[in-house]
Structures are given as structure tokens and as C-alpha cells.
Amino acid sequence: MPHPVPLDAPEVVEGVVDHLLYVSYDERTVLRLTAVTGDEEGITAVGRALFGVRPGESLRLHGNWVHHPRHGRQFRAEQCERTMPADERAIRFYLGSSMIRGIGPVLASAIVDVFGEQTLKVIDADPQRLLEVHGIGQIRLGRITAAWQEQKAIAEIMVFLQGLQITPALAVKIYTTYADTDDDPMRIVRRTPYRLCRDVRGVGFINADKIALAVGIPKHSDARLQAALLHELDQAGANGHCHLPVRLLIARTRQLLTDDDPASVEILDDAVLRQALAALHGQGEVVIETLPLPVLDGTDALTDTEIAMLPHRHRDETQLASHVRRLLTSTPALSGLAPWAEHVAALTGAETAGLTDEQHKAILTALTRPLSILTGGPGCGKTHTLQTLVDLAEQADAVVALAAPTGKAAKRLEETCGQPAMTVHRLIRPADGDSLFDHASVLETADLVIIDEASMLDLALARRLFAALRDGCHLLLVGDTDQLPSVGPGRVLRDLLDVEGIPRTRLTKVFRQLDEGAAITLNAHRILRGERPREDPKVFWNRPVSSAEDIAERVVDLVCELMPKHFGAGPEDIQVLCPGKKNVAGMTDLNLRLQQRLNPPSDDRPQHYHGGAAFRLGDRVQQVRNNPHRGETGVFNGSSGSISAVDTETHQLTVTFHDGEVATYPFIDLDELVHAYALTVHRSQGSEYPYVIVPMVSAAGMMLLQRNLLYTAVTRARHGVMLIGQTDAVERAIANNRTQRRNTALTHRITHDPAAV
């Protein structure tokens, strides 16, 4: 740890950010600053106040000099202010660092060569003079002028927000959100800051509240209380819940707003918060109902519960329930195509003689009932069952459509069944008339739709799927209920299994495993039974490591050197799967370390910093939210690929995804991407990798160290699994079978709410 050098008073240093040396998972930033005054040629600055700064920015830092035992003299920044560059060197660096869209390093040098220290004044006050620079014509002049005005507006917002510790990236998003509207972005920030919660992704209630209190909006204002209630409902969705009991919503909102101000007690009275909630209900921004729902205490008891939901989740849940009932009561399209009972009973050939009674039942049910479910763990014969089902249906000239929630799962399903498969999003995507292959037409003619990895279906995607199915179409949902639930709100597969009228088959027989992944399958079932996995010298290893820092270093060595050397697998064949994002050896930390080793900074690798992370040419990335308008046919949550281009002049980068989709991202939209050298186990669902490394750290906590999480991680691997970490973390995960319940009402709406639409 750094040891402060005694000083009489804090100091101030000014300079231009040359490059970032390190950004840790907890946002502590280390950078190299080129000083603009004094004898200092280069300064190493460190501190959380520096999070989010980018190369090329001019900074004024307030803090103290300290001495690090290994890295020497550093400036510990307690406060960071952004300033305009003053001398030629700073201006050249500023313009050439992609801060102003349309100006790259070469053009920046040309402009500064002509105007010197007057460059920024010329651009601001007399931009027509830029035509004096070789290479600038009227079109480029227009782009530069527009970009400069945009940057000035953004800078105004940045200056206002920097004292509130709100990152520059959010200032850019705020400006961009409102730039093409009749509203002035700065006026919105000052007068109606709680709008930002709803309009600007990433701002959230905490940041909006900082702004609101700073501009004098009272703590007891209706806008503040309502924004806090909506925030808690939104956070509940992020944790998988479709609704919250009103009493719990009130309690969480009170906790969110509680501070040391005695006046807050009156503001946070139950009656006041309920009045704010009632106002939201009256405005149509919250739905309030009383339903007989299970008590989340492990029992089957029901109690009348007053719940609150966001309107779009209420729509998704009620409409999904309606479409489930519609499908269940429709006439099966396959019923008249063949005597299915006789066909299934006749399955005695060499390839099908191994079918169990459970598999026969699953096949017959899928062919005779409009909705059915097939579940089972690894090695239980789901693959063989699906192959036989598809063959039988095609022999009767039935039209079969195959899909899965992710591209990798769809590819695996395609290989299993020997016919094309696609993602669920692409299967149900409405026709736009421009596509060479209209996926919507598949559902118009399909007799049987098979959805693999159905445990990944969240409420919104399931609603769209069921709504797209015509009456009589057969739907088979295939999944493993022992895996983690969907990333998005809901637990659709489990809720459907709780509806007695939906036929289901669970495959329970684990077939003898003869392939190289046998130990993985057997250990997965051991984990489910609460037993420790057994070592296998070829495919399953468990390496105890005591400290989190040692675990992180060991994981990097395994990915970059040891496993490629011993197994001939490239780093791209190895996926690190973490229980959580935070802490040492979490997803964020390991992504930073692995990027530094596998794709370090280089002159031939352009990059852009966003949110403290460098997005660099060649980086592995994953999409983290659905965007049907990105790329040619949309990019969806869980899609993975790599950065294939970074254009610092146009302020955008390109990602080529594994499914062939190519999508362009403006720099302000990079919060749609995360680095994918390491992923959370949740984000790996539906995917399969040759080798998986699972760092197990006790700091992840009981909420993450769960049996189904470890089981899901292990079942992502084909050829090898490495558990590396603290022994007690592995033991706690195996022992912890208390999966987090989710607040849903889908089962009730299907069975007791025929008026739902």
C-alpha cells in the first residue's frame, strides 16, 4: 500500500492524460499524465476520482504526493477537474485523441501546425479558417463544426456533473438522448433530473437523485418518491422478479431514501410512500393487484398478496398466460398426419432400440399434444430423443422449426438434429420485407416447434414466442430445471411445470458415458446430489488455491500458457466462468487481467476507453441487452463475438459475432457490450466451450455460491473443467441448495385468471 509523504498542504497538478496504466475492478485508476507546467515531464496519478477519464483529456488534479514501495512517487488524486488544453502539445494531443469526432491524429497535427495555440479559438469562433488547412473541404468542415458544438454542449454537462462524481460517459449519453429533441439537455438536467432515470440508460436513480438534490429539488417532492419506487421495481426485475409485494416495495424504498436527516422520517412514512405509489398507479406507470400467491418460505401455502408491477411486465405475464391457454386448447396440427402411437411403438431399429419408456413417452407427447415439456440433466438422452422426434415428424412431412435462446445453443441443436436451427429472437422476428430469408414465414407453416435450453426463456421472450405460434402448432420446450434461471425476469419453465394441465416428461436415466467428457457428466450429477466432484486426470481438475490474488494470477496463467501448452487448445477455446462480477478474481477483474495478457495495447490496435475499460481491436465481447435495430437482423442478449474494427474519427467500432452478424456501435453505446475473456456463469447459459475454468472465491458470498450455479458452470464444458480456488468456496456452493425464489404470478394467471389478455 502507498505510504504518504508528509506535506504541509494538498497540491494541484495539471496535465494531459497520456495513457491509462490500470483500471481495477473497484474503479481505482492509474494513469500517466504529461504535465503542462513545472519541471515534471511525466506524472503517475492514482485514485478513484480518475475513473472514466480518457487519453487526451486535460485535467487539474487536487491531492497529495505519495510514495509506493514498488512503483515510486505517485500523485494521489482526491478531486479531478477537466480543463481545456492550453499549449500546442496539449491541443495536438486533445484533437488527435478522438475527443472531437472527425479529427484524427494526422489531421490534428495539420491543424495545430497552421494555428498553433490559437487552434481551439479558431475552431470555436472562426471555423471557416479551417479551410486553410490542407485536406479540409466544406463537407469535412461541416462535420468538424457540428462535432465541436456537440462537444461544447457535452462539456457544459460534464462540468456540472463532475462535482457529483458522475462519469463523463453518462454526460455524453445524456446529451445524445436529448440532442435531437426540442428540449435543451442542460435544461432537463437542471429542471427535471428524474427524467434521466427513465430516458437515459445507465443514469439510474442514485445519479439522478444526486443531481436533483444539487439543484434544490426537495427531498419530499413527489417526483423523487415516485422515481425511487420505480427504481426499486426496476431493480427487482434485474434480480429476476416480475413483481414485488407492496409491503416489500415500500420497505425497500424507505431503505433507499433513509439518511441522517431527521426530517426524512416524516417523508418516509408508510402513508406518504403509499400515496406516491397510488399516484403512479393512477398515471398508469405501475399496476397494483391483489392475487393469491405462494408464500416464499418453501411451503406451498397461498396468501392474498398486494403486488406492484411495471406495466410492460404485467402485459408480458398476462398475455403469456393467455397464449398458453390458447395453445393448450387448440386442435393439434399433427394429430391427423399419422398414427403416432403405432409409429412410436414401432421404434425398434438399431438406432432407436435404446430408447427408454421415458423417451418414448416424450416423443409421443410432443407429437400428439400442442404443448409439452421435456426436462433432464446431461447424459440423460435428450439429444437422442430430439433426433428421433425430428426424424419421425419429417417422415410424415411435418414442418419442423428448431430454435434456442442463444446462437451457440442453436448451433448445437442444429448439429444434433441435422437441420437448420436459429435463435428464438430470429425465429419470431417480424418480417420487414427486406430479408432474403423471412423467418416469420417459418412459424406460419410450422407444425412442430422445438425450443432447446428453455430454462433461459425470460418472461418477455416467452411472451413473444407464444404469441407468434398459430393455433394447433405443437411446441416442445426442452430444458434442464437444475440450471440457473433466465437472466431476465421470470422463471417461465418452472412456472409452466407448476401447471398441472401441461404434459411433461423428465428423463432420469443417466446412460453409461463412454466419451471423453464422461467425467464431466458424472461430476455434474454428483454436484446435484450434494457430493464433491471427483478428479479425473484427463478432463476434470480441482486445484485448491488460498488467496484471491493467487487465484486470479493462476487463472491468467492457465488461459494464456498452461492449458494451451498441455492440451493444444488456444485461449479462444478456454472460457473463464465466474460466480460474480465484483472482487478480485471476479468477472471484471479477470477481464482486465486477461485482456492485458491476450490483447495488450499496441500501436496497431486502435482502442477507445468507455467506463474505465479499453475496447480494443481484437477484444472478445458479449452483448448484454436486446437491440433488434443493431446490425442487419438485430443483436440480442448473450451474443458473443470480437471487435473487428475501431474508428476513432467516426467514433464507432464494429463487432463480428459468432453467428455471422456484423454490427456497428457508436462509442456512446458501448454499455451494450462487456468484455468476454471472463463471463459470469449466468452469462454463459446456452453456450458450450471446449474448456471451462471456474475460479471459486469465498468473497462471492452465499447469494452466488449455490449448487445450481456450480452445476451450470460444469455443464458448459465439452472436454475439460478446472475448478480453481478456495476449498471452502467449493464446499459452500455444493452445500447451498437454497435457490433464490422469484416473484412471479404466471402459474396463477394460467390456472385461475381466464380474463387475462
228 touches 280 (CB < 8 A) = no
Regarding predicted confidence, which is higher, 111 or 155? Answer: 111
pLDDT score recorded for residue 28: 82
What mean pLDDT comes out for the span 180-194?
88
pLDDT score recorded for residue 8: 42
pLDDT score recorded for residue 4: 46
Does position 5 have pLDDT exceeding 60, yes or no?
A: no
Residue 93 C-alpha cell reads as 494531443
pLDDT score recorded for residue 678: 96
Regarding predicted confidence, which is higher, 173 or 523? Answer: 523
pLDDT score recorded for residue 753: 58
- pTM for the full model? 0.84
Does position 351 have pLDDT exceeding 60, yes or no?
A: no
Phi, psi of 734 (to 5 degrees): -65, -40
What mean pLDDT comes out for the span 355-370?
91
What mean pLDDT comes out for the span 316-341?
89
pLDDT score recorded for residue 434: 42
pLDDT > 70: what percent of the chain?
Answer: 93
In tens, the pLDDT along 486-522 reads 889 999 999 999 999 999 999 988 875 656 668 899 9
Q: Tell me how far apart the alpha carbons of residues 50 and 165 are, in angstroms, rounded to a whole number.
A: 10
Instruction: Give 679's Cβ-side CA count (13 Å radius).
Output: 27
* Strand 474-479 to 504-507 pairing: unpaired
Q: At what angle do helices 587-598 and 548-557 cross, to 10 degrees?
A: 40
Phi, psi of 227 (to 5 degrees): -65, -40
Does position 246 have pLDDT exceeding 80, yes or no?
A: yes
pLDDT score recorded for residue 13: 87
Handedness of CA 528, 529, 530, 532 (dihedral sign): negative
In tens, the pLDDT along 9-21 reads 578 888 888 888 8
pLDDT score recorded for residue 438: 46
pLDDT score recorded for residue 430: 60
pLDDT score recorded for residue 514: 54
What mean pLDDT comes out for the span 309-328?
96
Closest CA to 579 of 541, 551, 558, 557: 551
Q: Tell me how far apart the alpha carbons of residues 704 and 343 are, in angstroms, rounded to a whole number.
A: 46
What mean pLDDT comes out for the span 43-56?
84
Amino acid at 537: P
Q: Tell me how far apart the alpha carbons of residues 14 and 83 are, in angstroms, rounded to a whole number.
A: 9
Lowest mean pLDDT among 255-264, 386-395, 709-718: 255-264
pLDDT score recorded for residue 407: 83
Regarding predicted confidence, which is higher, 321 or 154? Answer: 321
Does position 349 have pLDDT exceeding 60, yes or no?
A: no
Using alpha carbons only, what angle is made at residue 250 by residues 245 and 256, rounded to the nearest 5 degrees? 125
In tens, the pLDDT along 606-655 reads 998 887 788 999 999 999 988 888 988 788 888 899 999 999 878 899 99
Q: What is the length of the chain? A: 757
Amino acid at 140: R
pLDDT score recorded for residue 455: 93
Does position 337 have pLDDT exceeding 80, yes or no?
A: no
Regarding predicted confidence, which is higher, 578 or 79? Answer: 578
pLDDT score recorded for residue 362: 93
Residue 595 C-alpha cell reads as 485482456
Q: Residue positions in the annotated binding site for ATP? A: 379-383
pLDDT score recorded for residue 435: 43
| Secondary structure string (H, E, C) spanning 694-717 | EEECHHHCCCCCCHHHHHHHHCCE
Element (H, E) at 614: strand 613-616
Lowest mean pLDDT among 127-141, 152-166, 532-546, 576-590: 152-166
Regarding predicted confidence, which is higher, 755 or 143? Answer: 143
In tens, the pLDDT along 380-419 reads 888 889 999 999 998 888 999 999 988 888 888 998 888 9
Q: Residue positions in the annotated binding site? A: 379-383
The phi-psi region of residue 691 (left if phi > 0; otherwise alpha if psi is between -120 and 50; otherwise beta) is beta
Provide the mean pLDDT of the chain. Answer: 87
Does position 126 have pLDDT exceeding 60, yes or no?
A: yes
pLDDT > 90: what percent of the chain?
Answer: 46
What mean pLDDT comes out for the span 242-248?
95
